[in-house]
């Protein structure tokens, strides 16, 4: 009986160590509303007055522009920065963005930083140091009680820790916000040496910014948002920062961008459109959100039932039986449906590809067009020419966007997968804009043929992939750019009942 007793004791010890502390009292905190007299407030006033009730939208498809937009907002802020992310990397752009927040705080700007705790490993000392600043407050969403070997938390508290806050927003002075698919890290901002994520954000001014701020408050004040000091009461000293030559080179490249020139000159073009925020209830991570609050239902209501066309871009596409049938039904009704996701060679999560691959045949048989982003392409000669809506020459798709009937578009954090639908919290914007929806359609029309494989069925019902390098057409009868072992592993994963996790 000694071994079972020892195991039982160890289990109790592990459970007690992985239990969250009692949520301490927190100071009431909400978005600042008296910010119309700030530089940002004055900068957007003319546009909002000329377009009452509408939001000014500018898409950020290039990674460097997306970094520049955040850096400029941090620099321009006078009263507040409310920042919410799923991932914040301990890398060049992550540290530069921390520096930007601290510089704003040094000027007296109130900074509230809300991070999902799933990806903060190795950052406790840095975050605690920032949190000690009198103008910065950091909260960790759905935190891990065990700070070092975090995987142990999944052993005793999997049901909670498996649910994450996937939201992404960066709001300055409650006047301008950035919402979309990007996290904070080199691969999202065109600074990674090996691979970059092809992603999409929008920078937004107008009344919908208030809705984003209110939603931030809802998460910030939820029972899942723990003060940094409650989770790391006695932090180790943060390691000394070393001079990073790559940071200077990257900042120099950002300063030379066309976006920075337009932004500083006040000539950045905005599309003014009716825009609504869609967001999950933060109680979703503890399984207590009402079903009608699910972002998937809200999206369906706001986008409506497409009558003519549906363009769906999702890096992780795991529709499940219900989703696949809904998409197939639309296609059979005559709606032109195009789906762009990652190929097996480009995806960063092979298990997700297994959850997607099983639905390719039924979708194609229903008339859906499927495209899978290639990891690289070589039909364009220079890196500058390759920068655009689908990123660098060695890329993995990360953008999440949907265009319906050429007049409505969604941009946000929501993937068309089971995790986004049922487990993670998500957010995004539904924009009524023929121009922005048309941009997505045009991008898919013009770039997808050379940058993605088209998946087809032959006369025998077998899958094959069409590649079009330099105007030629090349057929692949197995998933291109992959090994037999990788394909076998994906086929094995597809048999497992794990779609609900993907």
Other Cβ atoms closer than 10 A to 131: 18
Tokens of 396: 């993995």
Per-residue confidence band for 259, with pLDDT thresholds at 50, 70 and 90? confident
Choice among 186-190, 234-238, 314-318, 346-350 with the minimum mean pLDDT: 234-238
Residue 394 dihedral angles phi and psi, to the nearest 5° = -130, 95
Per-residue confidence band for 501, with pLDDT thresholds at 50, 70 and 90? confident
Residue 11 dihedral angles phi and psi, to the nearest 5° = -65, -45
pLDDT for 386: 40
Nearest one of 303, 490, 362, 340 to 415, comparing CA atoms: 340
List pLDDT tens digits, range 39-72.
999 989 989 999 999 999 999 999 999 999 999 9
Per-residue confidence band for 18, with pLDDT thresholds at 50, 70 and 90? low
Per-residue confidence band for 264, with pLDDT thresholds at 50, 70 and 90? low
Nearest one of 278, 217, 273, 268 to 411, comparing CA atoms: 278
Vertex 386, ends 384 and 388: CA angle to 5°? 95
pLDDT > 70: percent of the chain: 92
Which domains, from first to last, does the chain contain? Answer: 35-234+245-265 (3.30.870.10), 280-501 (3.30.870.10)
pLDDT for 104: 97
Query: Is the model's pLDDT at 465 over the cut of 80?
Result: yes
173 is catalytic: yes
Q: Catalytic pick from 91, 116, 124, 166?
A: 166
Rounded to whole angstroms, how far apart are CA atoms 430 and 331? 22
Per-residue confidence band for 499, with pLDDT thresholds at 50, 70 and 90? confident
Q: Catalytic pick from 173, 215, 280, 499?
A: 173
Task: Please report how the helices 258-265 and 63-76 are oriented relative to each other, as an axis angle in degrees rounded to 10.
Answer: 30
398 is catalytic: yes
pLDDT for 376: 79
Task: Please report how the helices 63-76 and 92-106 are oriented relative to each other, as an axis angle in degrees rounded to 10.
Answer: 20
Nearest one of 239, 209, 191 to 44, comparing CA atoms: 209
Pairing relationship of beta strands 336-342 and 309-313 according to DSSP bridges: parallel
Nearest one of 410, 409, 379, 374 to 390, comparing CA atoms: 374
Tokens of 182: 């990007």
Q: Catalytic pick from 62, 400, 417, 499?
A: 400
Q: Catalytic pick from 168, 284, 298, 353?
A: 168
pLDDT for 239: 79
Handedness of CA 100, 104, 105, 110 (dihedral sign): negative
pLDDT for 373: 95
Query: Is the model's pLDDT at 119 over the cut of 60?
Result: yes
42 is catalytic: no
Rounded to whole angstroms, how far apart are CA atoms 411 and 18? 36
Contact 56, 272 (CB under 8 A): yes
DSSP state of 333: T
Per-residue confidence band for 29, with pLDDT thresholds at 50, 70 and 90? very high
Q: Catalytic pick from 405, 464, 476, 486?
A: 405
Query: Is the model's pLDDT at 279 over the cut of 80?
Result: yes
Report which secondary-structure segment, H or E, holds 161.
Answer: helix 151-161
Structure-model confidence comparison of residues 385 and 326, the more confident one: 326
Residue 427 dihedral angles phi and psi, to the nearest 5° = -155, 165
pLDDT for 93: 95
Contact 173, 167 (CB under 8 A): no
Q: Catalytic pick from 91, 284, 398, 417?
A: 398
Query: Is the model's pLDDT at 381 over the cut of 60?
Result: no
Average pLDDT over residues 122-151: 94
405 is catalytic: yes
């Amino acid at each position: 009986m000694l071994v079972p007793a020892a195991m039982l004791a160890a289990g109790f010890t592990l459970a007690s160590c992985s239990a969250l502390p009692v949520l301490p009292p927190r100071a009431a905190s909400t978005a600042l509303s008296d910010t119309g007299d700030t530089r940002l407030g004055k900068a957007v006033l003319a546009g909002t007055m000329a377009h009452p009730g509408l939001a000014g939208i500018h898409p950020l498809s290039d990674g460097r522009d997306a970094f520049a937009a955040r850096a400029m907002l941090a620099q321009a802020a006078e009263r507040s920065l409310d920042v919410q992310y799923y991932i914040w990397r301990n890398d060049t752009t992550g540290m530069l963005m921390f520096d930007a927040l601290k510089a704003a705080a040094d000027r007296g700007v109130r900074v509230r930083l809300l991070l999902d705790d799933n990806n903060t490993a190795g950052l406790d000392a840095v975050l605690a140091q920032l949190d000690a600043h009198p103008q910065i407050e950091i909260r960790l969403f759905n935190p891990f009680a065990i700070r070092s070997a975090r995987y142990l938390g999944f052993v005793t508290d999997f049901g909670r820790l498996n649910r994450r806050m996937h939201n992404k927003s960066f709001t300055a002075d409650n006047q301008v916000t950035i919402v979309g698919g990007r996290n904070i890290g080199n691969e999202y901002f065109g600074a990674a040496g090996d691979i970059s994520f092809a992603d999409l954000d929008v920078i937004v001014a107008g009344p919908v910014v208030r809705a984003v701020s209110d939603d931030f408050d809802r998460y910030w004040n939820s029972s899942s948002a723990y003060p940094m000091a409650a989770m790391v009461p006695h932090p180790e000293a943060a390691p000394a920062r070393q001079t990073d030559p790559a940071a200077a080179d990257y900042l120099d490249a950002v300063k030379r961008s066309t976006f920075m020139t337009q932004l500083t000159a006040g000539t950045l073009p905005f599309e003014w459109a009716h825009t609504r925020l869609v967001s999950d209830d933060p109680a979703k991570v503890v399984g207590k959100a009402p079903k009608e609050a699910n972002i998937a239902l809200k999206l369906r209501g706001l986008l409506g039932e497409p009558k003519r066309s549906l363009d769906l871009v999702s890096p992780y596409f795991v529709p499940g039986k219900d989703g696949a049938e809904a998409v197939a039904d639309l296609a059979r009704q005559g709606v032109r449906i195009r789906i762009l996701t990652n190929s097996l060679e480009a995806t960063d999560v092979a298990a997700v590809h297994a959850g997607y691959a099983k639905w390719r045949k039924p979708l194609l048989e229903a008339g859906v067009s499927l495209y899978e982003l290639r990891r690289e392409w070589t039909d364009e000669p220079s890196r500058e020419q390759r920068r655009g809506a689908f990123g660098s020459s060695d890329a993995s798709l990360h953008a999440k966007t949907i265009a319906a009937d050429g007049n409505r578009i969604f941009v946000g954090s929501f993937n068309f997968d089971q995790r986004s639908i049922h487990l993670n919290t998500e957010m995004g914007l539904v924009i009524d804009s023929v121009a922005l929806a048309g941009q997505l359609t045009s991008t898919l029309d013009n770039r997808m043929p050379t940058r993605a494989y088209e998946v087809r069925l032959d006369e025998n019902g077998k899958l094959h992939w069409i590649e079009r390098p330099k105007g030629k057409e090349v057929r692949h009868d197995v998933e291109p750019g992959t090994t037999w072992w990788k394909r076998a592993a994906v086929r094995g994963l597809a048999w497992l009942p794990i779609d609900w996790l993907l």
